[in-house]
A and B are shown apart, each in its own frame.
Chain A
């Protein structure tokens, strides 16, 4: 079953799936080629972590988790229903493979920094921690606490991915990457629909924390 069909089961909207989902290509590349995760091993301490900080980008996330075998396909049909584990924001206590419960913006990056430090403290050198945020989510000040500290403390196993669909009312004059690079992060910018470019950016080795800005269509275009 294709990702587009799985998405249709969530939204009932065949025409706009998957292009309506700005996160979908990044999520697919992550789960298909980048993350060291697999169904049945959701608690393996050596696994990579993926935190969806912009919790409203959930339809594509559930579709990818279903395609990869973490979530039964028939769960998708009751999206948001009273007995469904799949809410309009993800709940880690309800859904296998989901690493953080999110929805309120600006929580993922702080949790990611703590997770990276906790893994390092316990000698787990392999796992990487990926966090997906939206460009407008960067309005939240809590992100900037995490960005500044992760840069200063060189929390190098964290990769932030910012989906830039120009949702923010105010964009930074130096570009989204500049919000990170000023604190010592390394920034890359990719076409958020180009799987090879996304893959290359997410697997680059860097001596410090890394942000990948993935540009997609403008939200309300």
Chain B
């Protein structure tokens, strides 16, 4: 996904003089060509994430469409107040693109993890959030995002699904089935399909959890909503939105995602998936529980 992002962004910078790129050292090497070709709108500010967001806001104030990029924990967690005040509060937007989703950086430890990024973005008004599940979904969402001026967060991951569903901007039913509706977001689809292969449930997918597809979920879930949310970030991040979808009726909701826990452990993303109950076997038990 990171390669797809770099390739598409290099092409976007070539194609559209209104676009800009702001880096804080991360990925400066692969973007070297753009930094050299467009010194005023492809900028590496050094290891300065607050400034990266401030510069993005300033570029947007002059009418450019900035893309800012770093690890999720440095881009979102560290620079949260700049995201809050230097973009939408000024009446401008930017495209923030992160790598290092949740426990992608398992060996690096908790300092390099951000399972809470989407929850933090969720505290702010009017953000579009893309969580691609496959590299082939990345290019089209970037192209769409440079076509307007809204604030957009793109969360890239080293985890991915076997197949791309570039059209899953809203909830897309991947596996029709029984009354229980399992919603898989981003790279959780692969493990979710494996976990449910002999279960009579409906599986729907999206790579764009914000804006939340209330009407799509309402249609898929039917008269007696029985929902399982499977999200690759902090567990329960979308719970308030599911509750909003079904504000006027009884519903059942099980939230599955990354636990609110600092494990102080390393290993691989696969290990962390197991520890957080997100491997196919754990998912199967949690999805099929009565």
Contacts and interface: CB of A to CB of B under 8 A. Distances in A.
A39 interface: no
B79 to A, nearest CB: 9
Nearest to A147: B51
Given A92-B91, A101-B90, A104-B85, A114 B50 contact: no
Contacts of B43: 117, 153
A93 interface: yes
Contact of B58 (A93, A113, A152): A113
Given A92-B90, A92-B91, A114 B55 contact: yes
B145 interface: no
A113 to B, nearest CB: 6
B89 interface: yes
Chain A contact-residue range equals 20 to 34
Contact of B62 (A118, A141, A142): A118
Interface string B12-46: 00000000101000000000000000101101011
B48 to A, nearest CB: 4
A106 B81 CA distance: 11
A119 B62 contact: yes
Contact of B20 (A118, A146, A148): A118
A56 B59 CA distance: 24
The DSSP consensus for interface residues of chain A is helix
Interface in A146-197: 146, 148-149, 152-153
Contact of B61 (A104, A107, A111, A152): A111
A114 B87 CA distance: 12
B56 interface: yes
A118 B20 CA distance: 9
Chain B contact-residue range equals 20 to 34
A149 B44 CA distance: 9
Contacts of A45: 62-63
A110 interface: yes
Given A114-B59, A115-B59, A141 B50 contact: yes
A59 B118 CA distance: 38
Interface in B50-99: 50-51, 53-64, 66, 81-82, 85-86, 89-91
Nearest to A99: B61
Given A101-B89, A114-B58, A115-B58, A121 B45 contact: no
A116 B38 CA distance: 15
Nearest to B84: A104
A100 B62 contact: no
A145 interface: yes
A151 to B, nearest CB: 11
Given A104-B81, A104-B85, A142-B82, A118 B61 contact: yes
Given A92-B90, A107-B85, A111-B90, A118 B58 contact: yes
Given A45-B62, A145-B48, A149-B45, A111 B54 contact: yes
Given A113-B55, A117-B40, 8 more contacts: A93-B91, A107-B54, A111-B54, A117-B55, A118-B20, A145-B54, A149-B45, A152-B46
28 contacts: A100-B90, A107-B85, A110-B51, A110-B53, A110-B58, A110-B86, A111-B55, A111-B57, A112-B58, A113-B54, A114-B54, A114-B55, A114-B61, A117-B55, A118-B41, A118-B60, A118-B62, A118-B64, A121-B40, A121-B62, A142-B50, A145-B45, A145-B46, A145-B51, A146-B51, A148-B48, A149-B45, A152-B46
The 6 tightest CB contacts between A and B, nearest first, are A110-B54, A114-B58, A118-B62, A114-B55, A121-B40, A145-B48
